[in-house]
Each structure stands twice: as C-alpha cells, then as structure tokens.
Amino acid sequence: MRGSSPRMTGKNRRSTPYITEMRPQDILMPVAAGLCCKPGGFHIDPVRPVERAVITHGHSDHARPGHGAVLATQETLDMMRLRYGDNFAGSTQAIAYGEQIKLGDVSIKFHPAGHVLGSAQIAVSCEGTCIVASGDYKDAPDPTCAPFEVVPCDVFITEATFGLPVFRHGNAADEIKKLLASVALFPERSHLVGAYSLGKAQRVIALIREAGYDAPIYLHGAMEKITRYYESRGVALGDLRMVKGMKKADLAGTITLAPPSATSDIWTRRFPDPVTAFASGWMRVRARARQRGVELPLVISDHADWDGLTATIDATGAGEVWVTHGQEDALVHWCTAKGLTARPLDLVGYGDEDESDPVPADEDTEA
C-alpha cells in the first residue's frame, strides 16, 4: 500500500543493511521472453517458449503454444486448447480466482481482470511485497465475464492500450442502440459488425440481447468454436446461426458478426448492401474508422480507457507502477506527477487484439 510499505523507500533500505530485502525487480523482471519471476521459476504471458508459463488470458499475444507447463484459469486453458489443439503445452494446471498457489519462493493468486471470459490479474507475493500483473483489463461492465477486481498491492503492472486522455470509451449500451437504430432504419440492408473473435464478439452479442433484440444473429465461421464455448460456460447469447449456406436475400435486415479483417474482403459480397460496423475502442478516432471504410463505428472496448486506467492505479494504492504495451508515456507521466514511482517496461510482442484478428485461411472462403 502506498505509504505503508517501508521497504519501498531508499531511506529504509539504507537504515537496515543487515536485512536482505526483496526489491520488486528481484521478484519480477522484464526479459526478452516476457515478465520473468526468478524466485518463482516462471514467466508471465511469455512470448517465447519457456519451461513454466503463468498466463493471464486467452488472447494469442498473451497465450502462446509450446510452453512446458502452463498455469491459468480453466477458461484460458480451454481457449488455448480450442485454438492450438490438445498438445499446446507439456502439462497444464487450472487455478480458480482467489486460489493461492506457492511456486518456488513466491505465492501467486489469480483475480478477475474483466477483460474476457477467464481473464485474470496475477498477484505475485514474496516476503511481504505484492506485485500485481494485470495483463489486459477493463473496469467497465461486461455480461460475459467476471467483473474486474481491485487488488491492493505495492507494485501495479498496467497495460496502456488506451493510455491517452483522449480515450474515453463511454457507455457500450449506447453504441449498441446506434447499431439497432441503423438496423431498424435500413431493413433492406444487412449489418456486418467487425468484432474480435475472442471476447469482443460475445460481448457485443450479449449487449445486443440486453437491448431486447431477440432475432437470430449470424456468425462468420471463424467465430463458431469460441462462441459455442462461451455458451457452454453459461453465457446466454440467444439464437445464433452460421452465415454459411444462407441465401443473400435472406440476410437483409439481419446482423452478422465477423472478424474485423473479414469485413473488408470479398467475403462481404454474400451480403445485400452491407452496412459495415466495427466494435473497437479505436473507433473513437474518426480517421481510423474512415481508413477502414467503417460506416458505423461502435466505440466498444475490452480495455480500460484513460479514466479507467488512472482510477484503477489510484484504487490499488500501489506506490510504484510499471506500464506495459500501448501508450506508456502519458500514463508514466501521470503517475510521476502524482508522486508515484513509474516506468515503462518496454515489453515486446503484445498488441491490441482489435488490430490483429486474422481469419484462418480455410475459414476465409468457406465461412
């Protein structure tokens, strides 16, 4: 906690020369493979194959195949299995939210990150110092996953995908209203919503259902497995059908979800006069929407916006903040101005899922 952790100050370190104290960077350190926990013998979200990986969530930049042992929530393990096949890791172990496990000299605990189904923040504790690696997270409500939990800690590791004051996502339900208004206005056209296949698509469907729309919603084939998986975990998504095999005329007046990359290729020719929408935090930037040929931008993000990032940092009480992937500078500056110790971690290999959701080659024409 800020101010209550004497080991965090240089003054205290100097006054107790005979006690070996763990500095945060002795517990977790950025290396080429990702965040390395030496005393625990593992890496968090490694971007290269390692012996023991602890993984925050199922997005492909965080959850990669080829590790020796993988520790993650059951949902994250299942998503990795769906994407990479049964042999995605040497061995796996599932951990529940709130469960504590000892690894080497550290203990770790998983807490909900509110990002996608099964996403977790990982609290790493060692000799009284607690570091929380939050992976990707959002503090906004999401009917498809457990809500974000504030975890008090000494060091908070935060993403910064939308780490600029210009990013304020607003209310996702209002964006869905825009979509449904457009569907009502153009009954002869189809609506094609680009949404990342894991998480965003299911959240958009759940939000559409919450808004009272109960007609069938159509899916690109690349989304079927993961969406059915969400349903198997108790996330109700209503009547879902595949686009494949549908007659063009029958898609008039309907809503279809597809990976963002599919909404700009020949796949869209099967739709009658499609209105192209895209659900992403980046849709706050008009130039991005124009660049992608998006007619109906929907500002819906699975990452915290500027207010979410700063409110969360405040709430953790952390005296030190490490900023990873995204727009690090402004957030580091904000922390420093508040008297917190802050630094960018310069981790390489993590991106924004909305910008990287390629359609598998075999799904491209088939779906």
Contact code string over 93-132 relative to Zn ion, x by CB under 5 A: ----------------------------------------
| SS3 state of residue 264 | helix
| SS3 state of residue 302 | coil
Comparison of 137 and 271: residue with beta carbon closer to Zn ion: 137
Comparison of 146 and 180: residue with beta carbon closer to Zn ion: 146
Please state the closest distance from residue 253 (CB atom) to Zn ion, in A: 33
Query: How far is 25 from 101, CA to CA, in rounded Å?
Result: 21
- Considering only residues 177 to 206 of the shown chain, the ones binding Zn ion according to CB under 5 A are none
Q: Enter the tokens of residue 14.
A: 């100097």
Please state the closest distance from residue 105 (CB atom) to Zn ion, in A: 29
Query: How far is 196 from 201, CA to CA, in rounded Å?
Result: 6
- Considering only residues 40 to 59 of the shown chain, the ones binding Zn ion according to CB under 5 A are 59
Half-sphere exposure of 188 (CA within 13 A, CB side): 1
- Beta-carbon contacts of 188 under 8 Å, excluding residues fewer than 6 positions away, are 252, 253, 272, 273
Please state the closest distance from residue 50 (CB atom) to Zn ion, in A: 19
Determine the size of the site formed for Zn ion (CB under 5 A). 2
Comparison of 136 and 154: residue with beta carbon closer to Zn ion: 136
Comparison of 136 and 305: residue with beta carbon closer to Zn ion: 136
- Considering only residues 237 to 276 of the shown chain, the ones binding Zn ion according to CB under 5 A are none
Query: How far is 363 from 367, CA to CA, in rounded Å?
Result: 5
- Beta-carbon contacts of 192 under 8 Å, excluding residues fewer than 6 positions away, are 256, 258, 263, 268, 271, 274, 275, 276, 277
Say whether residue 325 binds Zn ion (CB under 5 A). no
Comparison of 113 and 299: residue with beta carbon closer to Zn ion: 113
Contact criterion met (CB below 8 Å) for 119 and 145: yes
| SS3 state of residue 94 | strand
Please state the closest distance from residue 136 (CB atom) to Zn ion, in A: 4
CA angle 32, 34, 35 (to 5 degrees): 125
Please state the closest distance from residue 63 (CB atom) to Zn ion, in A: 9
Please state the closest distance from residue 262 (CB atom) to Zn ion, in A: 20
Comparison of 61 and 224: residue with beta carbon closer to Zn ion: 61
- Considering only residues 57 to 76 of the shown chain, the ones binding Zn ion according to CB under 5 A are 59
Comparison of 137 and 278: residue with beta carbon closer to Zn ion: 137
Tell me the window of 21-29, 135-143, 250-258, 279-287 that interacts with Zn ion (CB under 5 A). Answer: 135-143
Comparison of 59 and 284: residue with beta carbon closer to Zn ion: 59
Q: Enter the tokens of residue 76.
A: 């994250």
Please state the closest distance from residue 57 (CB atom) to Zn ion, in A: 6
Say whether residue 136 binds Zn ion (CB under 5 A). yes
Contact criterion met (CB below 8 Å) for 42 and 103: yes
Please state the closest distance from residue 249 (CB atom) to Zn ion, in A: 38
Phi/psi zone of residue 73: left (φ > 0), alpha (ψ -120 to 50 degrees), beta? beta
Say whether residue 303 binds Zn ion (CB under 5 A). no
Q: Which helix (H) or strand (E) holds 24?
A: helix 24-27
User: Which residues are near Zn ion by CB under 5 A?
Assistant: 59, 136
